[in-house]
Structure 1
Amino acid sequence: MTGQASTGLKTLLVGLDGACREVLDPLLADGRLPALASIFEDGVVAPLESQIPPWTPSAWPSMYTGVNPGKHGVFDFLTFQGYDWRVVDRSHVREHALWELLDRRGLTSVVVNVPVTAPPLPFDGALLPGYVAPEDPTGHPDGILDRVRDELGEYRVYAPEDVTGDEQVEWYQRLVRMRGEAFRVLADDFEPEFGFLQFQQTDTVFHERPRDDAAARAVYQTVDDELAKTLAACDPDTVFVVSDHGIGPLEGREFRVNEYFRDRGLLETTRGDGGMPSWTAYKRASGEDDDTPLSQRVVAAAAALGITSRRIGTVLGSLGLREFVLEHVSTDTVRAGTERVDFPSSTVYMRSRTELGVRINKAGRDPDGVVSPSEFASVRADVVSALREARTPDGSRVFDEVAPAEEYFHGPYVDEAVDVVAVPADFQNFLSASLNGDVFADAPEQWNHKLYGVLALAGDAVDADADLAQPHLFDVAPSVLATLDVPPSDRMDGEQLSPVESVSPEQYASFTASLAAAEDDDAVTRRLSNLGYVEDDDR
């Protein structure tokens, strides 16, 4: 795009977590983002509709597979086994990533910082995992993280613990620079046809420093600097800029879904064994207040060890950890005391607020289900009606939409999702799964995810005069593949965007982890051995 000689990078996908026009437009108007502005001006731009739920750990896998959560199987930060949980990782995403499909066509990819990509499956290229990976993640190929650290001196997934004030903002910027520098190092090593570079701090800054305009500007300007350097160094033919969802001020109330159903006699609680454990004792022992926020390092540590809720007490004792509780479980699924949701005895409950829905305790599916299959449809209809009737104290609707899960998800993993999806009104109400006595409270956060992010396309493979119409998150993967003249999978839910020349979809083998692992063929092994990442006995 710069007019330089091509380096071989045909398509660059730039991911901005939580970006939207409401955030970007003031910065673009002030001239603070010249690299992004050049892409927006040279190409086509539109709001990008996200999925339900529009949260990072489910939305990015939907983007990079082109299928809805019912087909890839990740609906939340957590995956549930009965009434127990663990942190999601790449093993829970049961569909091919677009860089794995490119590998089948002999194309090389470099992927840096994309969420839910650890542990990676083998393909021709390099991958450094992003959010929800452990701090020292397994990358691909073996040794890739050491290679990057040797070159850069430092590479981290998360900032160090307990940084605050100006140091926190400086760390946001350092992490952003690490992403860009790592991508350029690996692009130089692997000479990929496809690159995927994601920046997480564009979302983090709004959650951790709400209404700090200076911090948001600093993050976005650093992202723009790294984008400019990457465009200059790699000279991609085509560029996509994509966000997984939008973000904006939260002006509504906290709505405690489990309290709402307890008031209706559909949810039971317990003070004894069973249910999700209360973490209050652990937090008080560490000297922390009950509402102390937990950092991304907690997610990383849990992911690294495959922690489940029933094992966490033992882990805390053996490792001497001060806190080891997922934010979404500690604040959203349990009461700040000894009372907890008794999942086995309840008819309906919210497991995690970011699932955006509730689960019905169905016999024959859930370990101690109390709703028979013959009663399920009737109970679900009652639950839908109850949520549709929910009103805030000022009389406004809590939800814009309440519907059976099948209206949002389709595929082999729908039964792992919530049974009823509940979409907050304009995403202004904050859903909570906690038990705290009252159904409503002041919202605990000042920002919330919104349904519309942003999409921009520019470059050789893009018709800048075409109308983007109403693009959806699912459209990104098939469109990226089309710019590389690779057929999308016929399982993809998205459509190829009109500014990109269409390529007819083809049938790919069904995804299994063992099948994907078997595709680490001799050609890939030889390539990696030439780069010094694997041993080759024949050299």
Structure 2
Amino acid sequence: MSDDGLDVLLIGIDAGCLPVFDRLAETDTIPTLERLNEDGAVGPLESQIPPWTPSAWPSMYSGVNPGKHGVFGFVSYDGYDWHVSSADHIDELTLWEILDEHGMSSVVVNAPVTHPPADIDGAIVPGFIGPEDPTCHPQGTLEEVRDELGEYRVYPNYSRGDTDYTEAEKMEEYRSLVRMRGEAFRYLADEHEPDFGFVQFQKTDTVFHEFGGDWEKIRTVYDETDRQVRKIIEEHDPDTVFVASDHGMGKYEGYEFRVNDYLDDEGFVEVTNGGKGMPSWNPIRNELREGKDVDSWEPGLIEKMASGAAKMGLTASRIRQALETVNLDEVAMRYAPEDVARTGNKQVDFPNSIAYLRSRTELGVRLNVEGREPEGIVPPDEYDDVRAEVIESLRSVTDPDGNPVFDEVAPREQYFDGKYTEDAVDIVTIPRNFDYFLSDQIRGEYFADPTETFNHKLDGIITAWGDGIDADADLSAAHLFDVAPTILSALGVPYNERMDGDVLPVVEDVGGHAYRSAETQDDRDSPEAAVENRLSDLGYLE
């Protein structure tokens, strides 16, 4: 590795994938990313289950499955209640923590689920699903970045569906957020001169969720992303560059399948009116965007009133149906608080249900097990039989055209391994070709058009370019878990033996090491622990 510039740069493109890159290449939108792909090794990167941002990125930068690191989705659960996932829930060492133990520094900008940040040699500016004004490392970094750049935000200055902003203004906001990532990274890389750099671009995913298949808008976001990637490479001259995504993106050709409606008719779900609503990070996101450092969400007065009305039979959906008859439904949706629909509609009665879909992004069904859930009703000695019954039922589901909805319905042990497996869904449900949008909402019918026409696909992208890279290597079998051990090997650092991935054939495998567990992290502050860890890293201690 050279003394000048970055040794290794990881560029995170959320939802990046070969089909999207190929289409953008046709209009010369991503010349920098194209050059890396043409001169380096490139291939599909199979994501994990579930292939969603808050669980997949921690799996990528820790190299382990969610059963080991502990984050399965946007929210984590405390019984039937939920709170936003954070770095405190990631119980495994990250790339930058391992590098820190080897005396190597890192700058990490906008990586999801990194708030609160780790104490490392270098700098961390947390990204998605943290607060708008995140605690950064070192202390004062965010203020320093804002003083230098004039502005730095995690979230857009408008909420999705906001009609006060034109589409042109929204796209300018997208460009600004992408630019902020690149500028912040370049500034901090100048200040800290790190060995390893990681910058993540989130808007390459969000543009699909918000605007569907509007390729003009997609090109706008990728044009700015490519520009920022080019500037980083030009200014910081990395020896080796990796481009990786947490999952892919594509059009959903199938239906929306409302799992809880189906489980209700099958006798596994009980339904109630009113309450807090189905578990979701959406109301928490709104408060984070407003600058609040919140952990969970509780309904306000209006939401509680909507919940009370729903319990009396006056649900939000019934009110909207009535308004539709007099053409006032759009007015009501514009002025009514967004979360009224959460508390004012039918939802799963968790304590009285046998099995349910808690959140669509978990991609699975949870059983209400006695002794595990606060008011569990499935006896432990009946767990296997009940789970087998639910699996058999879901495997039989076909859409209105007679096609199977699921590629696989399987016990969680096929996908999760580790001490947090008990926190996972009990049954994993994988939609066929990822063409079906799974919904946790109760609407009284199983199938509808997908709520979002574009959504996550299983295959992302992996690119390796630069010094020490075998550009002819076959990356056709690359998996998300392989990214962390490969990057560590590229830096000449042993990977964590607990990692589930392998070193990709683009670099030489330097071998593994039995690192400390993440839960002993606080012990590093003592001089004795520091000496012991260093000796262990050097091979003097077993």
Give the TM-score taking structure 1 as reference length.
0.87
Structure 1 residues 315, 483: CA separation in 2 closer, same or farther (over 3 Å shift)?
farther
1:87 and 1:302 in contact (8 A); partners too? no
- Within-5 A mapping of 1:72-87: 72-87=69-84
Matched, 1:473 2:480: yes
- Within-5 A mapping of 1:372-387: 372-387=379-394
Separation in structure 2 between the aligned mates of residue 448 and residue 470 of structure 1, nearest angstrom: 23
Question: Which residue, 299, 305, 320 being the options, matches 1:312?
Answer: 299
Q: Which residue of 2 is the match for residue 536 of structure 1? A: none
Structure 1 residues 167, 22: CA separation in 2 closer, same or farther (over 3 Å shift)?
same
Q: Which residue of 2 is the match for residue 277 of structure 1? A: 277
Q: Which residue of 1 is the match for residue 311 of structure 2? A: none
Q: SS at the partner of 1:503?
A: coil
Matched, 1:424 2:424: no
Matched, 1:244 2:249: no
Q: Which residue of 2 is the match for residue 258 of structure 1? A: 260
Q: SS at the partner of 2:495?
A: coil
Measured against aligned partners, the alpha-carbon deviations of 1:168-201 in whole angstroms (never above 9, x if no partner) come to: 1111111111100000000000000000010001
Q: Which residue of 2 is the match for residue 34 of structure 1? A: 31
Aligned residue type for 1:260 = Y
Give the TM-score taking structure 2 as reference length.
0.86
2:249 and 2:455 in contact (8 A); partners too? yes
Matched, 1:488 2:495: yes
Separation in structure 1 between the aligned mates of residue 283 and residue 212 of structure 2, nearest angstrom: 16
Measured against aligned partners, the alpha-carbon deviations of 1:380-433 in whole angstroms (never above 9, x if no partner) come to: 000100110011111100100000011000000000010000000111111011
Matched, 1:50 2:55: no
Contiguous gaps of at least 5 residues in structure 1: 280-292, 526-539
Cα distance, 1:316 vs structure 2: 8.0
2:284 and 2:296 in contact (8 A); partners too? no
Separation in structure 1 between the aligned mates of residue 287 and residue 4 of structure 2, nearest angstrom: 39
Q: SS at the partner of 1:304?
A: coil
Cα distance, 1:520 vs structure 2: 5.2
Q: Which residue of 2 is the match for residue 167 of structure 1? A: 169
Question: Which residue, 103, 106, 125 being the options, matches 1:106?
Answer: 103
Measured against aligned partners, the alpha-carbon deviations of 1:340-393 in whole angstroms (never above 9, x if no partner) come to: 211011000110000000100111111111111110000000010011001111
Separation in structure 1 between the aligned mates of residue 507 and residue 489 of structure 2, nearest angstrom: 7
Q: Which residue of 2 is the match for residue 354 of structure 1? A: 361
Separation in structure 2 between the aligned mates of residue 94 and residue 474 of structure 1, nearest angstrom: 16
Separation in structure 2 between the aligned mates of residue 295 and residue 27 of structure 1, nearest angstrom: 34
- Within-5 A mapping of 1:66-77: 66-77=63-74
Cα distance, 1:519 vs structure 2: 3.1
Structure 1 residues 182, 146: CA separation in 2 closer, same or farther (over 3 Å shift)?
same
- Within-5 A mapping of 1:516-531: 516-519=521-524
Q: Which residue of 2 is the match for residue 213 of structure 1? A: 215
Cα distance, 1:252 vs structure 2: 1.2
Matched, 1:198 2:200: yes
Separation in structure 2 between the aligned mates of residue 465 and residue 428 of structure 1, nearest angstrom: 32
Separation in structure 2 between the aligned mates of residue 14 and residue 466 of structure 1, nearest angstrom: 20
1:122 and 1:520 in contact (8 A); partners too? no
- Within-5 A mapping of 1:266-345: 266-271=268-273, 276-277=276-277, 297-298=286-287, 300=289, 304-308=293-297, 311-313=298-300, 325=339, 337-345=344-352
Identical amino acids, percent of aligned pairs: 52
Moved more, 261-270 or 25-34: 25-34
Separation in structure 1 between the aligned mates of residue 396 and residue 450 of structure 2, nearest angstrom: 20
- Within-5 A mapping of 1:3-42: 7-42=4-39
Q: Which residue of 2 is the match for residue 395 of structure 1? A: 402
Contiguous gaps of at least 5 residues in structure 2: 305-334, 531-542
1:114 and 1:197 in contact (8 A); partners too? yes
Separation in structure 1 between the aligned mates of residue 482 and residue 273 of structure 2, nearest angstrom: 47
Matched, 1:188 2:190: yes
Separation in structure 1 between the aligned mates of residue 251 and residue 26 of structure 2, nearest angstrom: 20
Separation in structure 1 between the aligned mates of residue 199 and residue 378 of structure 2, nearest angstrom: 46
1:18 and 1:449 in contact (8 A); partners too? yes
Aligned residue type for 2:421 = V
Cα distance, 1:297 vs structure 2: 3.8
Separation in structure 2 between the aligned mates of residue 519 and residue 315 of structure 1, nearest angstrom: 48
Cα distance, 1:337 vs structure 2: 3.9
Separation in structure 1 between the aligned mates of residue 386 and residue 166 of structure 2, nearest angstrom: 48
Separation in structure 2 between the aligned mates of residue 254 and residue 302 of structure 1, nearest angstrom: 33
Separation in structure 1 between the aligned mates of residue 287 and residue 250 of structure 2, nearest angstrom: 25
Structure 1 residues 520, 103: CA separation in 2 closer, same or farther (over 3 Å shift)?
farther
Separation in structure 2 between the aligned mates of residue 45 and residue 34 of structure 1, nearest angstrom: 15
Structure 1 residues 340, 521: CA separation in 2 closer, same or farther (over 3 Å shift)?
same
Separation in structure 1 between the aligned mates of residue 410 and residue 367 of structure 2, nearest angstrom: 13
Aligned residue type for 1:412 = K
1:238 and 1:459 in contact (8 A); partners too? yes
Aligned residue type for 2:207 = V
Separation in structure 1 between the aligned mates of residue 285 and residue 176 of structure 2, nearest angstrom: 16
1:152 and 1:181 in contact (8 A); partners too? yes
Provide the alpha-carbon RMSD of the alignment: 2.4
1:90 and 1:120 in contact (8 A); partners too? yes
Q: Which residue of 2 is the match for residue 529 of structure 1? A: none
Cα distance, 1:250 vs structure 2: 1.3
Structure 1 residues 117, 449: CA separation in 2 closer, same or farther (over 3 Å shift)?
same
Number of residues paired by the alignment? 491
Separation in structure 1 between the aligned mates of residue 107 and residue 466 of structure 2, nearest angstrom: 19
Question: Which residue, 133, 136, 141 being the options, matches 2:133?
Answer: 136
Separation in structure 2 between the aligned mates of residue 315 and residue 406 of structure 1, nearest angstrom: 42
Q: SS at the partner of 2:92?
A: coil
Aligned residue type for 1:376 = Y
Matched, 1:462 2:469: yes
Q: SS at the partner of 1:258?
A: helix
Separation in structure 2 between the aligned mates of residue 28 and residue 296 of structure 1, nearest angstrom: 33
1:357 and 1:418 in contact (8 A); partners too? yes
Separation in structure 1 between the aligned mates of residue 218 and residue 385 of structure 2, nearest angstrom: 48
Separation in structure 2 between the aligned mates of residue 151 and residue 454 of structure 1, nearest angstrom: 33
Separation in structure 2 between the aligned mates of residue 168 and residue 413 of structure 1, nearest angstrom: 39
Matched, 1:121 2:108: no
Cα distance, 1:299 vs structure 2: 5.4
